[in-house]
Amino acid sequence: MSAPSLTLFHNPASPFVRKVRVLLSETGQQDRVTLQGCLPTPVNPDAQLVQDNPVGKIPALRLADGSVLHDSRVILDYFDHQHSGTPLIPREGAARWRRLTLASMADAVMDAAVLVRYETALRPVEKHWDQWLDEQRKKIRRTLAEWEANALGELAGHFDIAAISVACALGYLDFRHPDLQWRLDNPKLAQWYAEVSQRPSLQQTQPPAG
Ligand SMILES: N[C@@H](CCC(=O)N[C@@H](CS)C(=O)NCC(=O)O)C(=O)O
């Protein structure tokens, strides 16, 4: 079999990359990509990646013709148009906007969690901005509280763009921010996450230990 013609810039720690890999697995497309590892940070960009994505972020997807897609939302949309099953991003109607909004909330949780990680792991401790960190953590807590109160039925209904994104956000909180103890205030969300975590797509893409 010839090598896949699509190259996914990735790191197993990235929740944004994980969304792409989960969708690939859920739609039977995981063998279509070659994974190219990299570890970009805001203070240490990856030289090869920035040639393909000037923003310097992962995921980025190089297609067979050399063109490059980013960010994760665009790549997910691309792959969702490449399989014959039920779309994981509804194509139209109220469902489309609601599911994309839930997914966008999950992206915002990931953004906040990744920024907290950069601030605490990369920035010298004497320069940490505590108020900024607190407000990022509040964004996370507020969003999880909203899912706990108002989105559980929708999330349980279908493992699509919304559920994939929320699951990857929660997985990243466990991975980088166990101190948040998000399950304490969100028992129904925790139960939903425990159930969907058994899916092969999430098992296969777990962040590295440690
Ligand atoms: N909106 C982007 C966010 C991607 C992102 O923040 N990726 C992080 C890794 S988890 C990154 O590449 N950071 C490098 C940097 O900020 O320079 C997406 O959805 O793909």
Give me ligand 1 centre to Cα 89, in Å.
21
Q: Are residues 75 and 97 in the same domain?
A: no
Mutation to probe ligand 1, out of 20, 57, 71, 175 (largest number of atoms < 8 A from CB): 57
Predicted pLDDT of residue 185: 98
Backbone angles phi, psi at 62, to 5 degrees: -90, 125
Domain's final residue, options 38, 58, 81: 81
Between CA 38 and CA 202 the distance in angstroms is: 21
Domain's final residue, options 30, 52, 81: 81
Q: Are residues 63 and 141 in the same domain?
A: no
Gap between the terminal Cα atoms of the chain: 35
CATH number, residue 41: 3.40.30.10
93: left (phi over 0), alpha (psi -120 to 50) or beta: left
Between CA 148 and CA 132 the distance in angstroms is: 25
**In a domain? residue 86:** no
**In a domain? residue 55:** yes
53 CB under 6 A from ligand 1?
no
Q: pLDDT, tens digit, for every residue of 55-87? A: 999 999 999 999 999 999 999 999 999 999 999
Q: Are residues 47 and 98 in the same domain?
A: no
Between CA 154 and CA 162 the distance in angstroms is: 9
Q: pTM for the whole thing?
A: 0.97
Q: Where are the beta strands (DSSP E) in the chain?
A: 6-10, 33-37, 60-62, 68-69
State which residues form the domain around 139: 93-203
Predicted pLDDT of residue 38: 96
Token pair belonging to 210: 């440690």
Mean pLDDT of the chain: 96
**In a domain? residue 153:** yes
Token pair belonging to 114: 């990744």
Q: Low-confidence residues of the chain, pLDDT below 70?
A: 1-3, 210
Domain's final residue, options 37, 56, 81: 81
Atom of ligand 1 nearest to the CA of 71: 20
Mutation to probe ligand 1, out of 16, 107, 172, 175 (largest number of atoms < 8 A from CB): 16
Neighbours of 97 (CB within 10 A): 11
CATH number, residue 169: 1.20.1050.10
Number of structural domains found in the chain: 2
**In a domain? residue 1:** no
Q: Are residues 67 and 105 in the same domain?
A: no
Predicted pLDDT of residue 4: 77
Predicted pLDDT of residue 23: 98
201 CB under 6 A from ligand 1?
no
Q: Are residues 68 and 43 in the same domain?
A: yes
**In a domain? residue 103:** yes
